[in-house]
């Protein structure tokens, strides 16, 4: 109880600072971790062990080739008034930013200073709105919930947004299959927070304030470029703040990020707060990397992750979030603005049902563009571009059971379950 009260007092302090000094706390992640660890001593031990595993993976897998993975996102829009019920288009604008930032396709990458340009990295991670739920049914990946809560973190506990108890928040979808992001009104001065890998699965995910999510709609300066979500998902993938949340001798556990004695604000390109940097930099003393996504610089200043941060994220994925490489990576994607109409039953035929060693899918008036099949675990067992009105699917090597078929033509979509029963 004492720790919870301290946490509330901390965010009340932020609220006061925000009102009096226009202070903006970029992130509450470390404060949330501190509270969780104070309430659970076993978590402290677990986090130390997790760090050892991350460092061991990095040591043994540097330079390892990586395949691009796609992480399906479920966005929970929790709003008090209709102005906070952000549009699908605003949500898609945030997905677009994430894909640009994590693939180093952001147009402002040209602003990365030459001293850091050679270590800036394509993280090889992509994101999309989930298109199938846990039962294999079609979804837009967007959940909307009106809440009686107000200013999560001040009048309502922060993690209340992650639970439907009391009608306040929205329950997460399985956190080992989806990245859950809650968008809600946070206490003024707090833009977002995330939960590190290895913490409680029941509350795993990212929370972003309504005014800092995406690039259109409700966003307010200086958080208009969607970098709060880029930053918080970095935490969700194991990254620490670039200054190590302390003075110059603190660490973010990444060698190629220059030391700094505090967070940045604005975009001071002349800032150089530490003389001694890691051995990575040798005798050279680089400036503070204010353009790094894991600093507190304003959105327009941020434009890069480093290769060392990439190694750390992939180490966290392999050791603490391995389902990102399997189940999560096999969910299909939904894109706002790409509208699919359902096929009617007389437009598509699937036979035989149940299937034996194969089954045939036929469209009466269109070509099948793509066909994807998932098992009940959400694992993709078949995917192919067809470009034909009919196709035969070989199921000889499939196990008996229920499968979900997703058929797409140019502007229509069909999802159905089919049983495979081989004698």
pTM exceeds cut of 0.85: no
Give me the helix-helix angle, 227-236 and 88-102, nearest 10°: 60
242 and 288 together in one domain: yes
285 and 352 together in one domain: no
Structural domain includes residue 336: no
CA distance 49 to 247: 24
Half-sphere exposure of 256 toward its Cβ, with a 13 Å CA cutoff? 17
Last residue of a domain, one of 330, 365, 387: 330
323 and 381 together in one domain: no
Structural domain includes residue 335: no
Structural domain includes residue 125: yes
352 and 252 together in one domain: no
179 and 243 together in one domain: yes
CA distance 259 to 395: 56
How many structural domains are present in the chain?
A: 2
350 and 292 together in one domain: no
CATH number for the domain spanning 189: value is 3.40.390.10
CA distance 292 to 230: 11
List the catalytic residue out of 25, 34, 89, 232: 232
246 and 312 together in one domain: yes
pLDDT confidence of residue 67: 81
Last residue of a domain, one of 270, 299, 330: 330
The length of the chain, given as a count of residues: 423
403 and 308 together in one domain: no
Last residue of a domain, one of 330, 350, 383: 330
pLDDT tens per residue across all 423 residues of the chain: 444 444 444 444 444 444 433 334 689 999 899 989 998 889 999 999 999 999 999 999 976 767 888 899 999 999 999 999 999 999 999 999 999 999 999 999 999 999 999 999 999 999 999 988 887 777 889 999 999 877 677 556 778 899 998 888 999 999 999 999 999 999 888 999 999 999 999 999 999 999 999 999 999 999 999 999 999 999 999 999 999 999 999 999 999 999 999 999 999 999 999 987 778 998 899 999 999 999 999 999 999 999 999 999 999 999 999 988 876 555 667 767 555 555 566 788 888 888 888 999 998 878 888 888 877 666 678 888 888 889 999 998 898 888 878 888 876 777 777 888 887
State how beta strands 333-334 and 206-209 pair. unpaired
The three-class DSSP label of residue 84 is helix
**In the annotation, is 232 catalytic?**
yes
103 and 169 together in one domain: yes
302 and 376 together in one domain: no
Q: By residue range, what is the domain housing residue 57? A: 2-330
Task: Specify the DSSP element, H or E, that contains 334.
Answer: strand 333-334
- Token pair of 140 as six digits: 């837009």
CA distance 333 to 408: 12
233 and 357 together in one domain: no
């Amino acid at each position: 109880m004492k720790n919870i009260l301290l946490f509330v007092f901390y965010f009340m302090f932020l609220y006061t600072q925000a009102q009096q000094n226009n202070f903006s706390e970029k992130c509450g992640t470390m404060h949330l971790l501190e509270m969780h660890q104070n309430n659970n001593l076993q978590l402290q031990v677990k986090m130390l062990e997790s760090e050892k595993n991350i460092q061991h993976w990095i040591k043994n897998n540097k330079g390892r080739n990586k395949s691009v993975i796609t992480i399906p996102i479920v966005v929970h829009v929790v709003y008090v008034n209709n102005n906070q019920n952000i549009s699908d288009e605003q949500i898609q604008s945030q997905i677009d930013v994430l894909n640009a930032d994590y693939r180093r396709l952001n147009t402002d990458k040209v602003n990365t200073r030459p001293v850091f340009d050679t270590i800036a990295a394509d993280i090889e991670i992509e994101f999309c709105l989930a298109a199938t739920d846990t039962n294999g049914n079609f979804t837009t990946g967007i959940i909307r919930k009106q809440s009686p809560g107000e200013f999560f973190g001040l009048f309502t506990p922060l993690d209340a947004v992650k639970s439907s108890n009391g009608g306040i928040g929205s329950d997460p979808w399985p956190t080992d299959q989806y990245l859950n992001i809650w968008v809600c009104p946070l206490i003024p001065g707090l833009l977002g927070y995330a939960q590190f890998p290895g913490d409680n699965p029941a509350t795993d995910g990212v929370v972003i304030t309504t005014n800092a999510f995406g690039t259109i709609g409700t966003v307010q300066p200086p958080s208009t470029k969607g970098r709060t979500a880029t930053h918080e998902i970095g935490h969700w993938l194991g990254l620490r703040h670039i200054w190590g949340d302390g003075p110059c001798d603190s660490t973010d556990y990444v060698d190629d990020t220059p030391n700094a004695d505090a967070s940045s604000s604005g975009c001071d390109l002349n800032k150089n707060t530490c003389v001694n940097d890691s051995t990575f930099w040798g005798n050279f003393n680089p400036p503070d990397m204010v353009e790094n996504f894991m600093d507190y610089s304003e959105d327009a200043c941020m434009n890069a992750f480093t290769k060392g941060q990439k190694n750390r994220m992939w180490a966290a994925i392999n050791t603490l979030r391995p389902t990102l490489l399997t189940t999560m990576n096999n969910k299909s994607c939904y894109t706002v603005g790409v509208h699919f109409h359902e096929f009617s039953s007389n437009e598509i035929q699937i036979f035989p049902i149940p299937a034996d060693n194969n089954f045939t899918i036929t469209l009466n008036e269109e070509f099948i563009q793509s066909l994807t099949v998932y098992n009940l675990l959400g694992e993709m067992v078949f995917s192919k571009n067809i470009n034909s009105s009919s196709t035969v699917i070989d199921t000889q090597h499939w196990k008996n059971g229920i499968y979900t078929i997703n058929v797409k033509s140019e502007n229509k979509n069909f999802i159905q379950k089919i049983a495979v029963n081989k004698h």
